[in-house]
Structure 1
């Protein structure tokens, strides 16, 4: 039992680290090439989708069966365009116009929005712990955007808009495919989602040319691009695989190291600087997610102690 738990811990921590470093690596790639967010995302989504689906195909999994069910593949297309492509594009654009840490923190607001959506859908008032999480998240966003001064907003209007779209995109990305994943499995849905999202973006981005990409890519930047695609795909596989050995609460808590890794790497490698209140805002957002992962019984005990 202990050995399987250790396997799960290694998987989720490795996956979180890989995802945490991917943001700064993407930022570095943009700084050293002329790639746009759309150019990068076309390659990343199509390549990751093909890798995932080929992996499943060679494991004798029927990846084409879903296309025999119109109701399901229509939902899959909606997920691919609005969920996979929407969330990924907003995230990458936030990295492009601000930085990797900001994008990662906005992404981390997803669980808070899901909590609000569930409360509205179930017509159930949020618990005390959920209120604490919501307050912490709102305070975190305020400090992240303003660095403590309303008169001197740190992030541009465009960065704020795409940051909010990142949070909304990852919320939709999480909620919409629930029934599809239950029927067809996570890997199949995400694999097709990435491939379809990449193909749609390819046709929406007429300026994309492989020959133009080849001109801007050098050996170091091409190597980085390949590493980002592979590490992102491996990160996802490790995260999903860890759920076999750990609870969803444990995986969520451990994945909270993602923004920490992104912040450390950005400061040490990319020479990014963050205001003290911005760092406090990031801490508030992570605390909000940690509170939302506490089981209901534990949450009740905590609120009783606080009160």
Structure 2
């Protein structure tokens, strides 16, 4: 029984990463049918509507804590749900889903760098080496192996937007670790979604929303339910059973999942620079997080 439970626990993060990888491809697919603002707003609105019947009582039960913690939840929402998602949806107009998936795998390296300044956690020489290797892989993919063209930022605007999105998302993980918010995870997630909706309102008023239709409603439904709710829930369950260190390793499947899905769905090509860049990035991440991956879970 315990062996079956352990195997099930290992399946959870794989499913979560697969859902997030598919969402990257969905994001790329839907660029011609809905604006970044519209899909971002509809996504969180749908997640809010679906969760509300289940979260009213828990939120009321933790109202005293929420009155104290709402500034932190508001900041987490800004980094994790608005800035990251908004930039990612915009980046999808200018780059491939394959590149977006690979750049997402760079999140742990950015997290290590940001933790130096916020958590005062200084990396080991091996960690620094791993960050450098991952960065080389990232540059290789963005430039498609033509490093001499690196100074021409215009043709890499989508990739650079995605790098910025991932960099800002890294703040989300660092702040979570710094604050150790003492709330049930679903309550925290629900309130962050609520703040995300509020953040969108001025832009919705100014720019307006695209109408939902047969071309885009499927993508909105997927984004609002599976990545926003189910993937997050599966990931949290995996963290509880496997620990955060072991679970985080599974994020390295994202470039592979995304590339395979994009190849069959969007007919995106996989170049040799993708292979080399992916290997360098994943190897660098594993090397950079050597203390997290190889030490026994607490």
Q: Tell me if TM exceeds 0.5.
A: yes
Partner residue in 2 for 1:30: 31
| Distance in 2 (alpha carbons) for counterparts of 1:289 and 1:54 | 40
| Distance in 2 (alpha carbons) for counterparts of 1:296 and 1:170 | 19
Q: Is the 8 A contact 1:27 1:96 kept in 2?
A: yes
Partner residue in 1 for 2:7: 6
| Distance in 1 (alpha carbons) for counterparts of 2:294 and 2:182 | 32
| Distance in 1 (alpha carbons) for counterparts of 2:166 and 2:126 | 21
CA drift of 1:70 comes to 4.5
**Residue 114 of structure 2 is aligned to residue 114 of structure 1:** no
Partner residue in 1 for 2:41: 42
Partner residue in 1 for 2:165: 166
In structure 2, stretches of 5+ residues that fail to align are: none
Equivalent residue runs for 1:128-277 within 5 Å = 128-153=125-150, 156-178=155-177, 182-205=181-204, 206-209=206-209, 212-214=210-212, 217-218=213-214, 221-232=216-227, 233-277=229-273
Partner residue in 2 for 1:16: 17
| Distance in 1 (alpha carbons) for counterparts of 2:188 and 2:284 | 29
Q: Is the 8 A contact 1:76 1:180 kept in 2?
A: no
> How many pairs does the alignment contain?
290
DSSP-derived class of the 1:184 partner: coil
**Shift in CA distance, 30/123, structure 1 to aligned 2, threshold 3 Å:** closer
DSSP-derived class of the 1:267 partner: helix
| Distance in 2 (alpha carbons) for counterparts of 1:277 and 1:30 | 25
Q: Is the 8 A contact 1:107 1:170 kept in 2?
A: no
CA drift of 1:248 comes to 2.0
Offset from partner CA, 1:234-259 (integer Å, 9 cap, x none): 11110111112212222112232122
**Shift in CA distance, 47/296, structure 1 to aligned 2, threshold 3 Å:** closer
| Distance in 2 (alpha carbons) for counterparts of 1:176 and 1:185 | 16
| Distance in 1 (alpha carbons) for counterparts of 2:120 and 2:30 | 45
In structure 1, stretches of 5+ residues that fail to align are: 300-307
DSSP-derived class of the 2:59 partner: coil
Equivalent residue runs for 1:64-83 within 5 Å = 65-66=62-63, 70-83=67-80
Partner residue in 2 for 1:103: 100
Q: Is the 8 A contact 1:66 1:73 kept in 2?
A: no
Offset from partner CA, 1:78-102 (integer Å, 9 cap, x none): 2222342111112222223212222
Offset from partner CA, 1:11-65 (integer Å, 9 cap, x none): 111111111111112211224x1x11111100112222333443334xx423573
